[in-house]
Amino acid sequence: MSELKTFGLFLLTALAEIVGCYLPYLWLREGKSIWLLVPAAASLTLFAWLLTLHPTASGRVYAAYGGVYIVMAILWLWSVDGIKPTVWDLVGSGVALLGMAIIMFAPRGA
């Protein structure tokens, strides 16, 4: 799988997890409809399925996925919560992405 496809799959995986967690948050903290739990469960199911599509060992996928999740969470903070990321949010996201790239794309022996 190409690096671009792998990264895109990580982005979709992170979005599915964030949506799956955000909808119950809306129900529990914001008093929204309990029916939000239905799409939340579907989104978390999609998240789990997407994790299985990654082309490497599960532990490595989970470790590298964390870096992409951090970036997506910061983007969510900005686009959905309306809170502009700080310089430190952006620096931390960059460090997390660098870690993800090292884990996923480093050369490996056969």
Taking only the tens place, the pLDDT of each residue in 63-103 is: 888 888 999 999 999 999 999 999 999 999 999 999 988 88
Query: How confident is the model over 7-61, as pLDDT tens digits?
Result: 888 889 999 999 999 999 999 999 999 999 999 999 999 999 998 887 776 777 7
Structure tokens at 61: 């996928």
Let me know how long the chain is: 110
Q: No. of H helices and E strands in the chain?
A: 4, 0
Residue whose pair of structure tokens reads 């884990």 in the numeric block: 103
pTM of the model: 0.81
The region, left, alpha or beta by phi > 0 then psi within -120 to 50, assigned to residue 10 is alpha
Query: How far is it, in rounded angstroms, from Cα 67 to Cα 65?
Result: 5
Considering only residues 52 and 1, tell me which one the structure prediction assigns the higher pLDDT.
52
What is the identity of the amino acid at 110? A
How is residue 89 annotated by DSSP? Answer: H
